[in-house]
Amino acid sequence: MKKKAIISVLSKQTEDTDDVIEVVTPGNFYKKDNTYYAIYKETKISGMEGTTTTLKINEDKFSLIRSGSTTSKMEFHKGKEDISMYDTPYGTLELKTKTKKLVVNLDDDGGEIFIDYIMSISGHKPQNTLLEINIKTQQ
């Protein structure tokens, strides 16, 4: 059963403490089989207006899927590397991610996800990035 939720996504580069992006938005949260899903619409503030973001969450795997004006599928598995294409209105970028740490603490009422990963974009210097997600369902 889908529940309304408040979804907070905070992303920061560990080398540059000023580079913090946080989005707090309403969305939906539900469980299907053994997988949790959180879905929300991006806003103009995020720079991805017209995009729907789906977070697909298991104990050992996290997927961030975007469709609309921006399209991508990033997957995070502890200790593994992933290559994905990130399509934007301005062009396509190749993203490489290597997950150092993935902590999932969710139940049917929401919870938290923490990801520590290294990301490089089309040959640029790799950036260590922290992603903190908090999901709170509303009764």
* Helix, strand, coil % in the chain, rounded to nearest 5: 0, 75, 25
Distance CA 3, CA 1 (A): 6
pLDDT exceeds cutoff 90 at 59 = no
Residue span of the structural domain in which 100 resides: 3-137
Closest CA to 36 of 11, 12, 7, 10: 7
Give me the pLDDT at residue 49, please.
79
Distance CA 133, CA 79 (A): 20
Q: Indicate the pairing of strand 3-13 with strand 20-32.
A: antiparallel
Percent of the chain scoring above 70 in pLDDT: 95
- Write the CB contacts of 128 (distance below 8 Å, at least 6 apart in sequence): 13, 14, 15, 100, 116, 117, 118
Q: pTM of the full predicted structure?
A: 0.89
Residue 92 in this model has a pLDDT that exceeds 90? no
Alpha carbon distances (Å) from 81 to 75, 77, 96, 113: 9, 8, 7, 19
Asked if 79 and 60 touch (Cβ cutoff 8 Å), the reply is no
In this structure, what CATH number is given to the domain that contains residue 119? 2.40.128.20
Higher-pLDDT residue of 52, 125: 52
Question: What's residue 13's pLDDT?
Answer: 85
Q: Total structural domains in the chain? A: 1
